[in-house]
Structure 1
Amino acid sequence: MGGCLEALKPEILFSQASFKEARDYIKTNVREYYEVEPGYKIFDVHIIGVPPLYVGVEGDYVIFPYTKPCHGTFVVKVVGGEEIERLRARKK
């Protein structure tokens, strides 16, 4: 994965997915999720894909799709910190 994301020590929940499979995984498996626009920046990573794109929140973790060229899309889980509050604030 990219240098920035590796530093966060992501847990890979789903790998080599399509954009749709990643979206469906988050929608089906995560109770709290938010729709974000393509290019939305979480940590130092821009989320790319075909809308709608979802970022999930589960406890202290954020769950989001990460696309690595030539390797496909992964759904990753990392400690969320301030990103969780930033996501929740978008809804208001």
Structure 2
Amino acid sequence: MGCLESLPYEVLLSKISFKESREFLSRYQEKYDIEPGYRMFDLNIIGVPPIRVAVDGNALIFPFTKPCHGTFLIRVPEATEEIERLRNRK
């Protein structure tokens, strides 16, 4: 299992709801809705479906929930492999 702390990430928003996350990410042109349990960076993404993620250039932006700490909107730069995997999923 992966660890968020091993990624070069930036916190865009903290302690937000999934609705707030979806609304924030709706401003990006390239966005995808994923189901809970989808794996990115070897992390299981959890939350209230649909979980929206967005692509910003070569960065991936997604909500990440830490139990007991809340949901954060995370931006990971240089995420080209994960972005391609997201684009190519069935």
Fold conserved between structures, TM > 0.5: yes
Which AA in structure 1 matches 2:75?
A: K
Query: Who is 1:14 aligned against?
Result: 13
Contact 1:13 1:74 in 2 (8 A): yes
Q: Say whether residues 1:50 and 2:35 are aligned partners.
A: no
Please report how far the alpha carbon of residue 90 of structure 1 lies from its aligned counterpart in structure 2 after TM superposition: 2.2
Q: Say whether residues 1:34 and 2:36 are aligned partners.
A: no
Q: Distance in 1 between matches of 2:8 and 2:88?
A: 25
Q: Which runs of 5+ in 2 are unaligned?
A: none
- Higher helix residue share: 1
1:5-29 Cα offsets, whole Å, 9 max, x none, are 111121111110011111211113x
Query: Who is 2:23 aligned against?
Result: 24
Q: Please report the TM-score for the alignment, with normalisation by the length of structure 2.
A: 0.89
CA RMSD of aligned residues (A): 1.4
Q: Which runs of 5+ in 1 are unaligned?
A: none
Which AA in structure 2 matches 1:9?
A: P
Q: Please report the TM-score for the alignment, with normalisation by the length of structure 1.
A: 0.87
Contact 1:5 1:44 in 2 (8 A): no
Contact 1:36 1:54 in 2 (8 A): yes
**Number of residue pairs aligned between Structure 1 and Structure 2:** 88
